[in-house]
Structure 1
Amino acid sequence: MKKYGGARFAKPRIDRAGNIKNIDRYNSAVPLEATMGDDEILSKLNEVQDADSFISFLQSLQQDWEESEALEKRSPSNPYAANANGWENTCIGSFLEAAAAGGTAHKNRLSDLSGTTADVWRYAAEIIMCGKVYE
């Protein structure tokens, strides 16, 4: 198990259909805090195989961010913890930095995939997801 930025990571658990299972900060290349919206986002992430499904994933992530922003306006989170819905990075700069860091830290994940076009789209979605949750 590797440790990056205070969080521990292991290889993701993949089911026979190739879907990422039981994603959390201790069992995945994509660390997550459990939030209500994560089930839908993870479902969309697991469905990514082409441009259309990638865009659908991005739309779900955007809706989750908008919900998080609305919740933060009503009741701000502790400034030393993730925002509502588990968002660690709420400005574009920190989001992109986290996505790049998560992608760099987990480059070996791409070699775990079969190399199909669907896998490349899925890996791109995983890197984007790191922008939300990577510390």
Structure 2
Amino acid sequence: MQLWLLLALFFGLVLAGCGSTPPSPESVVRAWSQELNDGDNQGAAKLFAPGAKIVQAGTTIRLDTQAQAVAWNAALPCSGTIVSIKTKGDTTTATFVLGDRRERKCDGPGERATAIVRVNEGKIVLWHQTSAAPAPVGPAV
């Protein structure tokens, strides 16, 4: 009986010493998209690290507080369905098809938008919207 108790205690200590790993960058981006699509701006904001950088339409801002992250997520005009997602290291590039949000009409429904999202320790530290339009194909000039 004592042997079983010692083994249980040993394995309990071993497992307690194992830290959990943060979620993958892809899973963080998918979670953010789902929170946004569900209209949960608070939940979406919780996925951003303090000081996260937002690059959108030629402007860069920092989300230093939770309130700023909530406000930024709430101001996004569209929801988005992920149609492509690729991850390399801590950076995920996701392409979305835009749609209406629960509380407002989207200004570009059906259009595509792409964001490069960098994640550190399970939190978004960079969200950078890029052009979703395909690059022109043709001879180099």
* TM-score exceeds 0.5: no
| TM-score, normalising length: structure 1 | 0.29
Q: Larger Rg: 1 or 2? A: 2
| Richer in helix (by share) | 1
| TM-score, normalising length: structure 2 | 0.28
| Richer in strand (by share) | 2
RCO comparison, higher one (Cα < 8 Å, 6+)? 1
